Amino acid sequence: MKNRRLPIVLLLVTIMFASSCKTKPGDVASLYNKKADSIIKLMTLDEKIGQVSLFTSDMSLTGPTMRNDYIDLIRQGKVGAVFNAYTVDFVRNLQKIAVEETRLHIPLIFGYDVIHGHRTIFPINLGQAASWDTAMIEKSERIAAIEATAEGLNWVFAPMVDIARDPRWGRVMEGAGEDTFLGSLISAARVRGFQGSSLSDNNTVLACVKHFAAYGAPQGGRDYHVVDMSERSLYEWYLPPYQAAVDAGVGSVMTSFNEIAGVPATSNRWLLTDLLRDDWKFDGFIVTDYSSLNELIPHGVASDLSQASELAMNAGVDMDMQGSAFLTQLTDLVKSGKVSEETLDNAVRRILVAKYKLGLFDDPYKYCDKKREAEEIMTPEHRSFAREFVAKSCVLLKNNNTLPVPKSARTIAVIGPLADSKMDMLGFWFGAGQFDKAVTLVEGIKNKVGSTVNLLTAKGCNVNDNDLSGINQAVSTAKKADFIILALGENFMMSGEAASRTDISLPGVQMELAEAIIRTGKPVAVVLFNGRPLAIPKLDKMAPAILETWFGGTEAGNGIADVLFGDVNPSGKITMTFPLNVGQIPIFYNSKNTGRPINRENPYEKFKSNYLDSPNTPLYPFGYGLSYTTFSYSDIKLNKQSFGGTEQIIASVEVKNTGDRDGEEIVQLYIRDLIGDVTRPVKELKGFMKVLIRKGETASISFTIYPKDLSYYHQDMSYSYDPGDFELFIGTNSTDNKKTEFSIID
């Protein structure tokens, strides 16, 4: 692939690293580089190789532990960073070895997978994205950074910004969904939250954007699998969220496990050097994912660990995570000239500069404050925010006047395998979260209703086996209730890393439980816990109400109860399409029209781009989500119909709250380029606005875009917009919207 510059698709805040407002960032960077060079001149080859080596601590019942051989390596100056090590005392002890027992006293960086919270766990990232609230997302990472640094950490392996269109892939739970525009905004917000205004503060962390690149597009939705796509798709859909993180000042980048067009990311010089460093001007350091350097051997591009290390270092990798490859191979590679010492020095310099930016050379124990550890973790304020975030992340998928739970319900039955499971509330990648402090759905409802309601419970079945023996008891319990809340879905281990599924319907016999409960004729609301979109057409047809809650984290039960009982009006909207069935996958809103588009009047017409046994349309489209109130949209008004290349396109719409409750609506703007140099999607998200509208009131919403915002990659991979005709849509989701047309003229 050729070396090309990605366009700036978003206006992003650039994080500047400066020790004082009087010093220019460029001067500070130069100063840090000079300081790093002064250390490099003193280093032996072994000490340099130590800086590019990252090793893990382990976890026991009593807390983190470290292998003796790794401690010996730290003592020898052969470790640059440690991950999975946290708590102040543990970190201080390891740092003490590095800065007091080694020859050059170089401090360690301490990293951890802080994916959706540290101790206070927030909704999984896909759920957070459903809030469409970048300010809340940024704040969640600010809280996560505060808690992580209070326990000795200064580096987090986040944000994960992979665009994903296949819900079979388990790691969709870590990302923002299928849309590039929204995903790029969220990417930048997460970096800002983690890194704050200055990495020199003791409550900010070095962020690590991952997985570079296109890890979210594995063939068949199978984790770690091959990624193979056109150059245009890579640039247009998958790369922008990573660049958004770079533009926001992210301090480190993690390579992905996958190959792209036959070249594994960890040995891909075009990706790591030509694109990331030369084109995007990234000046932080690059770390491999866990043992991905070693995996170049089974990938088939390296015959042994020596060749794998040579390929990775020369491609642009700076630090080897847990592979021991650089530690064991670089000495011979440098001495033989296969890796130049200048290349190694460049990697070491970038890592040392990061340590300077974090202030570790000034105070290696700045993140080891016992007072902060005691006072700044899981505070009432953090938990209160987490509860609010749970409610904002919930998506009401269906509601036949069933929710909120009526005040007349005096006996409520909470039924299902996920109704009272603390283990499943946090979701995968719960980090340092504690299951015993999670609030289950049953506990949240108890906290909500107290003694005013008779609360009954029954498990009914397990999440994922064929045992039907508990269903009769659950039905008996349901018959005693005025209202039934049915808690169904996946367990937390069924999504996340290495958790791909070919069948994404309700697992086990949960559908049989649902059918039996719904047949009682009692009002039923289904509460879904899951880490991915599910294929649930039968449940959608039968259930009177369905509330998607994802895995909500520490305050899951309280936040969900706030929505179920109407204290919070749900406003979330899905950011990843829910298919009718697995056979439709990959299915996403911004698909192409094809030369034989489906006939909407006759979706099964022969010789069209359709299926014989299923419609093309999903169960729930991108951007979809209901409210306890209703909204109506006026026709769209444009400031004019034809625009020159520098003119503003202003699209306005009136949105009225036609129900009897105040509610937030996420108003969405989509564009379609009707004629292009290459084929264009049927819709592309170009803007959104989340607005609170009081009952009976009308909000005037205006979006401003420019012709340049409609640019795309042409046949020659130039990036520009075309004169011609466009369609513009504004509505409540990607399918239900108003439409108008405009033209761009030269």
Rounded CA-CA distance 83/111 in Å is 4
Buried b (16+ CB within 10 A) or exposed e, 704-719: ebebebbbbbeeeeeb
Q: Which of 368, 397, 427 is the last residue of a domain?
A: 368
Closest CA to 506 of 483, 530, 482, 472: 530
The residues, ordered by sequence, that sit 6+ positions from 249 with a Cβ below 8 Å of its Cβ are: 14, 15, 16, 17, 191, 195
Answer whether residue 4 shows pLDDT above 60: no
Closest CA to 575 of 519, 533, 635: 533
Same domain, 360 and 378: no
Instruction: Work out the pLDDT band at 14, boundaries 50, 70, 90.
Output: very low
pLDDT at 531: 98
Give the C-alpha distances (Å, rounded to integers) separating 616 from 501, 506, 584, 604, 624: 21, 21, 7, 9, 17
What does the pLDDT average to over 657-663? 98
Q: Which of 322, 340, 368 is the last residue of a domain?
A: 368
To the nearest 10 degrees (0 to 180), the angle between helices 25-40 and 341-357 is 130
Place of tokens 């070095």: 206
Closest CA to 566 of 623, 525, 517: 525
* Dihedral sign, Cα of residue 605, residue 607, residue 608, residue 610: positive
pLDDT at 24: 64
Same domain, 358 and 379: no
Structure tokens at 375: 């006072």
Is 376 within 8 Å of 88 (Cβ atoms)? no
Q: Which of 582, 611, 639 is the last residue of a domain?
A: 582
Closest CA to 441 of 558, 567, 563: 558
pLDDT at 746: 82
The predicted-structure confidence for 487-540, as pLDDT tens digits, reads as follows: 999 999 999 999 999 999 999 999 999 999 999 999 999 999 999 999 999 999
Answer whether residue 8 shows pLDDT above 70: no
Place of tokens 């969640």: 140
> How many structural domains are present in the chain?
3
Structural domain including 284 reads: 43-368
The predicted-structure confidence for 612-640, as pLDDT tens digits, reads as follows: 999 999 999 999 999 999 999 999 999 99
Closest CA to 532 of 258, 183, 166: 166
Rounded CA-CA distance 97/20 in Å is 31
Same domain, 70 and 218: yes
Reading phi first (left if > 0) and then psi (alpha if -120 to 50, else beta), residue 351 is in alpha
Closest CA to 634 of 742, 740, 729, 738: 738
Mean pLDDT of the chain: 95
Instruction: Work out the pLDDT band at 63, boundaries 50, 70, 90.
Output: confident
Give the C-alpha distances (Å, rounded to integers) separating 308 from 61, 246, 324: 36, 27, 12
The residues, ordered by sequence, that sit 6+ positions from 650 with a Cβ below 8 Å of its Cβ are: 638, 639, 702, 703, 704
Place of tokens 């003592």: 75
Give a yes or no: residue 607 inside a domain: no
Closest CA to 567 of 444, 397, 410: 444
Reading phi first (left if > 0) and then psi (alpha if -120 to 50, else beta), residue 696 is in left
What does the pLDDT average to over 425-440? 96
pLDDT at 640: 96
Same domain, 568 and 429: yes
Instruction: Work out the pLDDT band at 448, boundaries 50, 70, 90.
Output: very high
Structure tokens at 619: 């169960």
The residues, ordered by sequence, that sit 6+ positions from 18 with a Cβ below 8 Å of its Cβ are: 24, 25, 28, 198
Is 567 a known active-site residue? no
Same domain, 157 and 296: yes
Rounded CA-CA distance 429/627 in Å is 30
Answer whether residue 13 shows pLDDT above 60: no
Residue 555 belongs to domain with CATH number: 3.40.50.1700
Is 667 within 8 Å of 691 (Cβ atoms)? yes
What does the pLDDT average to over 360-366? 98
Answer whether residue 455 shows pLDDT above 70: yes
Give a yes or no: residue 616 inside a domain: no
Give a yes or no: residue 351 inside a domain: yes
Same domain, 196 and 218: yes
Is 221 within 8 Å of 167 (Cβ atoms)? yes
User: Which candidate in 113, 162, 179, 289 is catalytic?
Assistant: 289
Is 514 within 8 Å of 541 (Cβ atoms)? no
Rounded CA-CA distance 534/489 in Å is 9
The predicted-structure confidence for 230-250, as pLDDT tens digits, reads as follows: 999 999 999 999 999 999 999
Give a yes or no: residue 398 inside a domain: yes
Rounded CA-CA distance 424/438 in Å is 9
Classify 632 as helix, strand or coil. strand
- Secondary structure (DSSP) of 318-359: -BEES--HHHHHHHHHHHHTSS-HHHHHHHHHHHHHHHHHTT
Closest CA to 152 of 87, 201, 66: 87
What does the pLDDT average to over 62-91? 95
Same domain, 357 and 400: no
Residue 298 belongs to domain with CATH number: 3.20.20.300
What does the pLDDT average to over 449-464? 97
Q: Say which amino acid occupies 12.
A: L
Rounded CA-CA distance 667/733 in Å is 8
Same domain, 419 and 297: no
Give a yes or no: residue 597 inside a domain: no
Max distance between CA atoms of the chain, in angstroms, equals: 81
pLDDT at 12: 30
Structure tokens at 153: 């950490």
Same domain, 348 and 436: no
Give a yes or no: residue 599 inside a domain: no
Buried b (16+ CB within 10 A) or exposed e, 640-668: eeebeeeeebebbbebbbebeebbbbbbb
Give a yes or no: residue 666 inside a domain: yes
Same domain, 78 and 113: yes
Answer whether residue 22 shows pLDDT above 60: no
Rounded CA-CA distance 527/352 in Å is 49
Residue 634 belongs to domain with CATH number: 2.60.40.10
Give the C-alpha distances (Å, rounded to integers) separating 574 from 394, 396, 564: 9, 10, 18
Asked if omega into 364 is within 30° of 0 (cis), the reply is no
What does the pLDDT average to over 114-131? 98
> Between 133 and 600, whose confidence is greater?
133
374 burial type by CB count under 10 A (0-12 exposed, 13-18 middle, 19+ buried): exposed
Is 455 within 8 Å of 410 (Cβ atoms)? no
Is 132 within 8 Å of 688 (Cβ atoms)? yes
Element (H, E) at 335: helix 325-336
Same domain, 61 and 191: yes
Rounded CA-CA distance 4/527 in Å is 46
What's the per-residue H, E or C state across 236-297?
HHHCHHHHHHHHCCCCEEEECCCEECCEEHHHCHHHHHHHHHHHCCCCCEEECCCCCCCCHH
Classify 231 as helix, strand or coil. helix
Same domain, 497 and 573: yes
The number of residues in the chain equals: 746
Rounded CA-CA distance 184/172 in Å is 15
Element (H, E) at 448: helix 441-449
Give a yes or no: residue 646 inside a domain: yes
What does the pLDDT average to over 175-196? 98
Q: For strand 208-212 and strand 252-255, is the pairing parallel, antiparallel, or unpaired?
A: parallel
The number of angstroms, rounded, from the C-alpha of 185 to the middle of its chain's C-alpha atoms is 11
In this prediction, what percent of the chain has a pLDDT beyond 90? 94
What does the pLDDT average to over 644-649? 95
CA angle centred on 95, ends 92 and 98, rounded to 5°: 155
CA angle centred on 43, ends 37 and 46, rounded to 5°: 130
The predicted-structure confidence for 677-714, as pLDDT tens digits, reads as follows: 999 999 999 999 999 999 999 999 999 999 999 999 99
Q: For strand 411-415 and strand 483-489, is the pairing parallel, antiparallel, or unpaired?
A: parallel
The residues, ordered by sequence, that sit 6+ positions from 438 with a Cβ below 8 Å of its Cβ are: 121, 422, 425, 426, 553, 554, 556, 557
